[in-house]
Amino acid sequence: MADKLFLGKGSREVVWEVYSQVEKTIAILKFRLDYETPGVSAKLPNAAEPEKLVEDARVLIARAASELVSGEPEKAVETLRGARNDLRSLLTPRRVSKKRS
């Protein structure tokens, strides 16, 4: 997943694809681990610097992969949530701006 963000240079289609894969991975891990945390409303990062958000998400996805390999799946879920929020932040302004048109 992380490589797609790097190779795709953050194109909207690539961001949507990786975002959906991250969401799916979170759901699968939560189901298999029977792991749930109380709902917390997370503030999305500022999307003023999209390149930084793409890089941050890429780093978090790679970190989550390492956490899974090292036997820390709960930690990986939380790390993936951070990546998901970065990607969601990139997608949300575009969606909102289309509604205003």
The answer to pTM > 0.85 is: no
Q: What is the pLDDT of residues 44-86, one digit of tens each?
A: 888 888 889 999 999 999 999 999 999 999 999 999 999 999 9
- pLDDT value for 87: 94
- pLDDT value for 43: 84
Q: Would you list the domain boundaries of the chain? A: 2-100
- pLDDT value for 95: 46
Q: Can you tell me the distance from the alpha carbon of 96 to that of 9, in angstroms, rounded to the nearest whole number?
A: 22
Is the per-residue pLDDT at 41 higher than 50?
yes
- pLDDT value for 37: 76
C-alpha atoms less than 13 angstroms from C-alpha of 96 in its C-beta half-sphere: 7
| Greater model confidence, 55 or 41 | 55
